[in-house]
Amino acid sequence: MRDPQLVYQQQAVKNASPLQLVVKMYDLLIQATYREDGQKVKEILSTLIAGLNFDHEPADQLFAIYRYCQDLARKKEFEQIREVMEPIRETWDQVANKSVAAS
Domain boundaries, the chain: 18-102
CA–CA separation, 63 and 54 (whole Å):
9
pLDDT, tens digit, 9 for 90 and up, residues 2-26? 777 767 667 766 777 889 999 999 9
Mean pLDDT check: name the lowest of 7-11, 26-30, 33-37, 78-82: 7-11
Does the pLDDT at position 31 exceed 80?
A: yes
CA–CA separation, 62 and 43 (whole Å):
16
Does the pLDDT at position 92 exceed 90?
A: yes
Averaged pLDDT, 21-44: 96
Task: Give the DSSP letter of residue 77.
Answer: -
Averaged pLDDT, 74-98: 96
Left (φ > 0), alpha (ψ -120 to 50) or beta: where does 76 sit? left
